């Protein structure tokens, strides 16, 4: 069995992280509007290029906006970024213990430097056999990995909170078993779902539920 897992809003409480980041910047007289204008929740298309969030760029943008140096804020931000373990959902640790290190892969979407920093600073790196950060296709990365597995019959799961990512991964990997992480606190839990796609994935509200789904499916296939 192999399980590919998304990072933001799945393992990591990105909404809470954003809230803390905001509070930190508010202390340096950044307003709500200025924060929102310089923060990217998810990659955005601009002049045909995808733009990804990272805090260093945000500070630079804020400096331009405020026409002054924000060196103190930058230092505070760097300090804050050193330990992010408070943002890991607790149920993830339960999940990580239920499976072996060799079964777990992390696939994250976004700015590679920033994602790497978050993944290391929150302490989850050690639970994964491999970690992938991409600005392009998660589906292609997973397909390439599946090609390397010795047993082609092995069950492969993908867990992500975003429907568009599930769809993209399914396109590249028709046999993959999809589980949508639908946390009540997730930033994207209200996104419209594709009606056509609705029946083709499982849903869990946390890693306890995701683990149950995987147990059920894998024992079912062993018995059948």
Which range touches Mg ion (CB under 5 A), out of 133-141, 144-152, 156-164, 216-224?
Answer: 156-164
* DSSP structural state of residue 96: H
Which range touches Mg ion (CB under 5 A), out of 7-15, 91-99, 146-154, 189-197?
Answer: 7-15
Phi, psi of 192, deg, nearest 5 = -65, 135
Site string for Mg ion, 9-38 (x = CB under 5 A): x-----------------------------
Find the helix packing angle between 163-172 and 138-148, rounded to 10°: 40
Tell the residue number behind the tokens 């992938």, with chain if given: 132
Report the residue from 2, 3, 5, 8 that binds Mg ion according to the rule CB under 5 A: 8
Report the residue from 2, 4, 5, 6 that binds Mg ion according to the rule CB under 5 A: 6
Helix segments in 46-105, DSSP class H: 55-66, 71-80, 90-98
Distance CA 68, CA 83 (A): 28
Residue 31 or residue 44: which is nearer to Mg ion going by CB?
44
Closest-CA residue to 183 (of 209, 220, 157, 153) = 209
Which range touches Mg ion (CB under 5 A), out of 43-51, 73-81, 99-107, 159-167?
Answer: 159-167
CB of 90 to Mg ion, least distance (A): 17
Query: Which residues sit at the interface with Mg ion, rule CB under 5 A?
Result: 6, 8-9, 161
């Amino acid at each position: 069995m192999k399980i590919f897992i998304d990072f933001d809003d799945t393992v990591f409480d990105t909404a809470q992280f954003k809230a803390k980041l905001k509070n930190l910047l508010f202390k340096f007289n950044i307003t709500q509007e200025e924060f929102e204008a310089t923060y990217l929740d998810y990659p955005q298309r601009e002049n045909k290029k995808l733009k990804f969030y990272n805090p260093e760029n945000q500070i630079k943008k804020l400096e331009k906006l405020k026409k002054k140096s924000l060196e103190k804020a930058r230092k505070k931000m760097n300090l804050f970024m050193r330990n992010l373990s408070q943002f890991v959902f607790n149920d993830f640790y339960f999940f990580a213990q239920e499976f072996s290190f060799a079964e777990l892969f992390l696939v994250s979407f976004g700015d590679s430097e920033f994602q790497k920093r978050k993944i290391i600073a929150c302490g989850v790196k050690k639970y994964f056999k491999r970690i992938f950060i991409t600005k392009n296709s998660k589906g292609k990365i997973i397909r390439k990995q599946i090609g390397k597995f010795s047993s082609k019959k092995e069950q492969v799961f993908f867990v992500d909170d975003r429907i568009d990512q599930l769809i993209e991964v399914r396109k590249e990997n028709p046999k993959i078993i999809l589980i949508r992480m639908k946390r009540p606190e997730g930033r994207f839990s209200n996104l419209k779902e594709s009606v056509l796609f609705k029946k083709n994935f499982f849903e869990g509200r946390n890693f306890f539920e995701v683990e149950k789904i995987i147990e059920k499916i894998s024992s079912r296939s062993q018995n059948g």
